[in-house]
Structure 1
Amino acid sequence: MTITASGHAEYSAYGSDIVCASFSTLLTHTVNNCTNVSVSDENGTLTAIFLDANRIENKTLLNALKNTVSQLASQYGDYIKITF
């Protein structure tokens, strides 16, 4: 599984954007707590490759990320776009 994230939500000024901060926190938490993840951050685009996405611990965290980001997108759909 691969997750690619780029850009800013532009909900508010840079540094005080709750949508961007929420998504960044969720993604950072997931990447930091999953095992066997390859991460690159180039030119403002973060790519996380989960090499063992079916491991139960990783699957649980990735499902939680998907659910929470989906809720974030439903509340702030004008500022965040997701594709599964």
Structure 2
Amino acid sequence: MIQVKLTKEKNKTTITARGHAQYSVKGSDIVCASFSTLLTHTVNNCTDVAVKDERGLFTAKFEDVNSIGNQTMLKAFENTVNQLAEQYGKYITVEEVSL
């Protein structure tokens, strides 16, 4: 299962993710592919992002949440990852935290 945590603070948003969907065999797992594409697209199209990938835990810290572009991308990520969780809840979960 993919476990996603979206932590929103006043001036920073952090996305953490770990795990594998295991929806299907390697190479044809549509849940894993969808999430990976969504996360990569979000990170690659935002500014001031610090990324760390260690031992299966991926962390992306978005420092410029006041940027209109970043706000748009992060809202799109949030909406889409929640849709994935609604449709494939057995394979991906989302936790949202506001500090």
Cα distance in 2 for residues equivalent to 1:54 and 1:9: 32
Higher relative contact order (CA 8 A, sep 6+): 2
Q: Deviations over 1:5-58 (max 9, x none)?
A: 111011111222100110010000000000000001101111000011221100
- TM score, norm. by length of structure 2: 0.82
Q: What's the Cα RMSD here?
A: 0.7
Cα distance in 2 for residues equivalent to 1:55 and 1:69: 21
Q: How high is the sequence identity, in percent, across the aligned residues?
A: 67
Q: More helix per residue: 1 or 2?
A: 1
- TM score, norm. by length of structure 1: 0.96
Aligned to 1:40: 52
**Structure 2, unpaired ranges of 5+:** 1-12
Cα distance in 2 for residues equivalent to 1:74 and 1:61: 20
The total of aligned residue pairs comes to 84
Partner residue of 2:78 out of 66, 73, 83: 66
Aligned to 2:23: 11
